[in-house]
């Protein structure tokens, strides 16, 4: 599968954060993950991720600091592109 093909079941963590509009560029999301890490909860197990290429799935819960706030979101959709903000909001549910 090439990077341009969409997989409806999982995607890279850095790409999903960029598509969901938590970061303006994919490079910024990659740097954030690498330097600070993001907690991923799947099937009741939480682990801290420092690799941008880690795959996430629908149902995963992501926890990370952003602009003086702790964000906790559940992945509802993987998405296929970085669309407008209204479309990006459909990719996750804010659990805060």
Distance CA 77, CA 57 (A): 8
For residues 15-19, give the mean pLDDT: 96
Residues sharing a CB contact under 8 Å with residue 7, sequence separation 6 or more, in sequence order: 1, 78
Residue 93 confidence class, pLDDT cut points 50, 70, 90: very high
**Could you read off the pLDDT of 22-80 as tens digits, one per residue?**
999 999 999 999 999 999 999 999 999 999 999 999 999 999 988 788 999 999 999 99
Looking at residue 12, the DSSP 8-state letter turns out to be E
CA atoms within 13 A on the CB side of 21: 11
User: What residue ranges do the domains of the chain occupy?
Assistant: 10-94
CATH topology of domain 10-94: 3.10.290
Cβ-contact 92, 20 below 8 angstroms: yes
Write down the pLDDT at residue 9. 83
């Amino acid at each position: 599968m090439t990077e341009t093909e969409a997989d409806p079941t999982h995607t890279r963590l850095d790409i999903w954060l960029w598509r969901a509009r938590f970061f303006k560029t994919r490079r910024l999301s990659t740097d954030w993950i690498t330097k600070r890490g993001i907690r991923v909860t799947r099937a009741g197990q939480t682990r801290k991720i420092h690799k941008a290429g880690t795959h996430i799935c629908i149902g995963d819960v992501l926890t990370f600091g952003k602009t003086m706030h702790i964000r906790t979101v559940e992945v509802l959709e993987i998405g296929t592109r970085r669309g407008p903000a209204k479309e990006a909001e459909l990719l996750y549910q804010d659990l805060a």
